[in-house]
Amino acid sequence: MLKTMLLALLFAISVPVLLATGDVRVAVAQGAGQDHDHAQDHDHDYDHEDEDYDHEEHGASGHVSEMNGIRSIHAWMRASHKGDDGLVFVSLENASDRQVIFEGGAFDHARSVELVGFTMQDGKDVYVPLAHMPIAAGQQILLAPKSLALRLNRLDQDFHKGDVMHMHLLFDGSQLDVSVNVEAENAMHHSHAGHIHK
């Protein structure tokens, strides 16, 4: 019920807004794209041989990675210790002419990766798992502190400020390689936030 309400609210707005549903907060900005139905959940194997993966378009060496109209900007996480959970934040833009489904991520140095949304429970900050997040054509979503995030469960090594790690973002059976900058343990934004990428 909560997830259904959240998805309905996502497509009802047309300007940048911090959406507080009462249970899960999502930062969203929607352009003039049209919504498309997506009837099925996806369960795929992800590898670089996937026919939808465009080796020429993706670029995981900088702040921006692109694939088939999907763009990730300024992926980052806070410095984290071995055995802890880490949170990855990133801006995702859908410049394609179709809705895509953001399904989460994959990272070699975590036991698992899951898409999560921020909420409050008994006065405490909590991130709850979400199955997936649709991104309509022309829409942008922001994974940010106290909003959406990718949770890296049980990291197998330390990550220090200044490190750069590499992971995959998963969309409709395709994967986008991204570089993730590690910021200070108390960081609230990417150190290069505010830079314009064209």
The rounded distance, in Å, linking the Cα atoms of 17 and 130 is 20
What's the confidence (pLDDT) of residue 38? 32
What's the confidence (pLDDT) of residue 179? 96
Average pLDDT score over residue span 151-161: 97
Residue 180 pLDDT > 90: yes
Number of domains in the chain: 1
Residue 141 within any structural domain of the chain: yes
Residue-wise pLDDT tens digits, 66-125? 988 999 999 999 999 999 999 999 999 999 999 999 999 999 999 999 999 999 989 998
Residue 26 pLDDT > 80: no
Residue 77 within any structural domain of the chain: yes
Residue 159 within any structural domain of the chain: yes
Q: Is the pTM of this model over 0.75?
A: no
Residue 92 within any structural domain of the chain: yes
Cβ-in-10-Å burial (0-12, 13-18, 19+) of 60 comes to: middle
Q: If DSSP states are collapsed to H, E and C, what string results for 14-44?
A: CCCEEEECCCCEEEEEECCCCCCCCCCCCCC
3-state secondary structure of 159: strand
If one compares 89 and 42, the residue with the highest pLDDT of the two is: 89
CATH of the domain at 122: 2.60.40.1890
If one compares 121 and 54, the residue with the highest pLDDT of the two is: 121
**Domain carrying residue 139:** 56-183
What's the confidence (pLDDT) of residue 165? 95
Residue 2 within any structural domain of the chain: no
Residue 52 pLDDT > 60: no
Residue 65 within any structural domain of the chain: yes
Instruction: Give, for 14, the enclosing helix (H) or strand (E).
Output: none
